[in-house]
Amino acid sequence: MKNQLESLFNLSAQHTRFRTEVIAGITTFLTMSYIIFINPSFLAQAGMDQGAVFAATCLAAGIGSLLMGFLANYPIALAPGMSLNAYFTFGVVLGAGYSWQVSLGAVFIAGVIFLAISIFPIREYIINCIPKSLKLAIVAGIGLFLGIIGLKSAGLITNGKTTLVTLGNLHEPTTLLAILGFFCIIGLEALAVPGAVMISILAVSGLGLLLGYGHFTGIFSLPPSIAPTFLQMNIKEALQPSLIAIILAFLFVDLFDNTGTLIAVAHRAKLMNAEGRLPRINRALTADSLAAIISAMLGTSTTTSYVESIVGVRSGGRTGLTAIVTGILFFLALFFAPLMSAIQIYASAPVLIYVACLMARAFTEIDWDDITEYTPAVITALCMPLTFSVADGISLGFISYVVIKCLSGRFRDIHWGMFLLAILFIAKYSFL
């Protein structure tokens, strides 16, 4: 078995081992397991069967993670995306008035287009034409994005009456538990304790249950039927001209959310080569697009790469074995729904704040002596948390990069692919 794992994942070449990869996979799962409860609650508002969506979410996440692990050998887990499920429910079904079956059809079509541009070198070319400063900005920006999500989930910040955000209630017990969890992670990491993040999540969850801030209703339950959503997408209706903008929106968000996540995780795992390019990127992109298609067939919104995978990387994950362990745990979650519900948001929120601290280090590698490089980078990083969208942050950053370079007369610095992307983003904001 050891030889088989070595030949499949090249563990020794990546300076890792089986035990480390398993811990990383478990840690990644614990950090992103919230999606198996949040996604069904979102899509239920679109009229979908909540139990079926729960099953579809677990299956889509499991299959997507296995595809990434086996095809690309990357420690990146996949699951239905948060921004995409919100757009599916509130933008397409409740906002535009389309049925969830037609919306699933739009997700399927966007996934097929995604697969086409992944098989051909179009998407790989897109990633490789992005300048280093913007790649680093994407890494740091996603960190800030995760940080604001973590702070909000922990209750450390909240909506302000006269300001965008304000300090939360520091007397709230769950907020104090989240603060305790954050300090536990930092302390254990400083002491180089293996599995520090996982230990913190489990310890804080257990303490919360003892104090009465959580629910433990059991361990096992039979998985609900997936029949109400399985193969229910309406592709024919989704092909009508009025849905072109919606299909493109699914495609754009999925494309650049995935791109940003791939860059961020690969940078953190030191998988990029000297030129800042990703090896086996075509395989990773193919895994992403196949997962998007499969999610529509199962009956859930678009499955995408999760930036929470960085938590597993920080725990030592370096190969696809990490993603496979995470995928297997998503399959097992079908039978452990009561146990999974014991992991409360106050236990996982500190992890996102911790990861934000780690990813912000990418700022140090930006060229701060060149205003035409660091200004678009700062715009990219700031816009991600403030627009609450990785894709919008990338779009605005790319547009600003091209405009600033042109106004500075530095046309030679701009790859022609960046010109094309900037034009597409401007068109997106103009017409979509």
Closest Cα to residue 405, out of 428, 373, 383, 357? 373
Please state, rounded to an integer, the average pLDDT across all residues of the chain: 82
Q: What is the pLDDT of residues 286-298, one digit of tens each?
A: 888 899 899 999 9
pLDDT of the residue at 176: 95
Dihedral pair phi/psi, residue 166, rounded to 5°: -150, 170
The tens digit of pLDDT for each residue in 238-272 reads 888 777 767 866 776 677 667 777 777 777 777 66
Residue 381's identity, in one-letter code, is A
The token duo for 288 is 């992403």
Q: Which residue has the higher pLDDT, 413 or 272?
A: 413
What is the mean pLDDT of the segment spanning 120-146? 76
Most confident of 40-49, 79-88, 278-287: 40-49
**Most confident region among 281-285, 312-316, 410-414, 426-430 by mean pLDDT:** 410-414
**Residue 361, pLDDT score:** 80
Instruction: Kindly compute the dihedral angle of the four CA atoms of residues 78, 258, 230, 37, in this order, to the nearest 10 degrees.
Output: 50
Give Cα separations from 15 to 11, 34, 68 (angstroms). 6, 30, 20
The band of 363, judged by pLDDT with boundaries at 50, 70 and 90, is confident
Give every CB contact of residue 369 below 8 A, 6+ residues apart in sequence: none
Q: Give the per-residue pLDDT at 259.
A: 73
> Per mean pLDDT, which of 101-110, 209-218, 235-244 is the most reliable?
101-110
Mapped onto helix, strand or coil, the DSSP state of residue 158 is: strand
What's the pLDDT band for 362 if we cut at 50, 70, 90?
confident
- Decide if pLDDT at 274 tops 70: no
pLDDT at 194 over 70: no
| Identity of the highest mean pLDDT range in 84-98, 128-142, 227-241 | 227-241
Predicted confidence at residue 7, as pLDDT, reads: 66
Cα dist. 115→107, 238, 341 in Å? 12, 18, 34
Helix axes 371-387, 132-154, angle to 10 degrees: 30
Those residues whose C-beta lies under 8 Å from the C-beta of residue 203, and which sit 6 or more positions away, are: 181, 184
Tell me the mean pLDDT in the region 367-371: 90
Q: Which residues contact 412 (CB under 8 A, 6 or more apart)?
A: none
Average pLDDT value for residue range 110-135 = 77
pTM of the model: 0.68
Average the pLDDT over 345-349 and give the result: 80
Position with higher pLDDT, 272 vs 94? 94
The pLDDT of residue 37 is 74
Q: Is the pLDDT of residue 232 over 90?
A: no
